[in-house]
Amino acid sequence: MLKRVLAWVLLAGFVLLLVNIMIFQYLLAQSIVVYVLVAIWFIFSNKPLPSRKKKNISENSIEEENTEE
């Protein structure tokens, strides 16, 4: 539950940061630096999701091996 609340707070802050950069432009240089840092953190902290295609391919190859025997 705490993770969800933290995620919503971070999402709201990120949206407000984007609104500030696009509309208000208050402390623009600092806002852009924060935006870049958040973007870099997001890119390097995310784990890739498992692909369904890879799973299906491996399941299909197992089925093909079983039918060939």
4 pLDDT more than 80: yes
pLDDT in tens, 24-45: 999 999 999 999 998 898 889 8
% of the chain residues with pLDDT over 70 = 72
DSSP for 42-55, written as a single string = HHHHPPPPPPHHHH
Mean pLDDT across the chain: 81
Cα dist. 55→46, 49, 50, 62, 63 in Å? 20, 12, 8, 11, 12
For residue 19, give both structure tokens.
Answer: 């609104």
**More confidently predicted of 42 and 67:** 42
Lowest mean pLDDT among 1-5, 45-49, 57-61: 57-61
Output the pLDDT for position 56: 53
Written as one letter, the residue type at 42 is F
